[in-house]
Amino acid sequence: MLHAVTDSSVSGPVSGQENPPQFRRVLLKISGEALMGDQNYGIDMPMADRIASEVAEAVRAGTEICLVIGGGNIFRGLSGAAKGMDRAAADYMGMLATVMNALAMQTALERIGVQTRVQSAIPMTTVCEPYIRRRAIRHMEKGRVVIFAAGTGNPFFTTDTAAALRAAEMGCDALLKGTQVDGVYSDDPRKNPDAERYDQLDYLDVLTRDLKVMDASAVTLMRENAIPIVVFSIHEKGGLARVLAGQGVCTMIGKPRPAPSAGK
């Protein structure tokens, strides 16, 4: 059964809607580049506002949502390491970039009445909460959006892996990855017009074909916990709500869990 949103500022009809959400709780992973909009660097607040409106619509429909946002629009650890920087130091800088993005998204969400909490894997209590699993779950049960920042808190792990880890810890029904294209392709469709698009894949298909969806460690973690990965375009207006309702254009990796039964 879907959890009702308790915050009156974002409450809306949960039961009796034409296309109720097929997932009770999800983690949405978006790249830092998604926040750039048409810019070459940094945060484009109109783009952050548009993504926030998509998340708000999903919350009003009754889905509990947590987010992980990458930091590539500000600093990417691998790029810093490639230029001679110590890899661990570069990764920590990348984690700080994700905190900046998380705070920007929190601002965008709260401007439209969605209560939001940022939890960082690297404690910085002046600007956000430390990551505490039970507290994060309680926030979502109360209808708040939780944004997990600073990755796993460890170097050498990407935000894809952090997203998979948090999805498993939160007991999410799916990990949704908002990308630049509308699903998983055999090649980059922006460079290869003949690239094949997949509607359904198994976790092992992704790993054996080396499809560039998420890191192998993230895919493996989702496979071990039987959490499906849903890949869709973050740039399609209303795309998140349609995917949650089972109507959007996307690629499903793994099989969706059975819908929660009434009273469960």
Annotated binding site: 29-32, 71-72, 76, 91, 152-159, 179-180, 185, 188
Amino acid at 49: D
CA triplet 258, 2, 106: central angle to 5 degrees? 110
* 135 vs 132: CA distance, rounded Å: 5
Give the residue numbers of the binding site for UMP.
71, 91, 152-159
Assign 230 to helix, strand or coil.
strand
Helices marked H in 112-215: 133-141, 159-169, 203-208
Q: How many CA atoms lie within 13 A of 203 on its CB side?
A: 19
Give the residue numbers of the binding site for ATP.
29-32, 72, 76, 179-180, 185, 188
Whole-Å CA distances, 194 to 188, 202, 231 = 9, 22, 19
Helices marked H in the chain: 45-60, 77-82, 87-111, 133-141, 159-169, 203-208, 216-224, 239-244
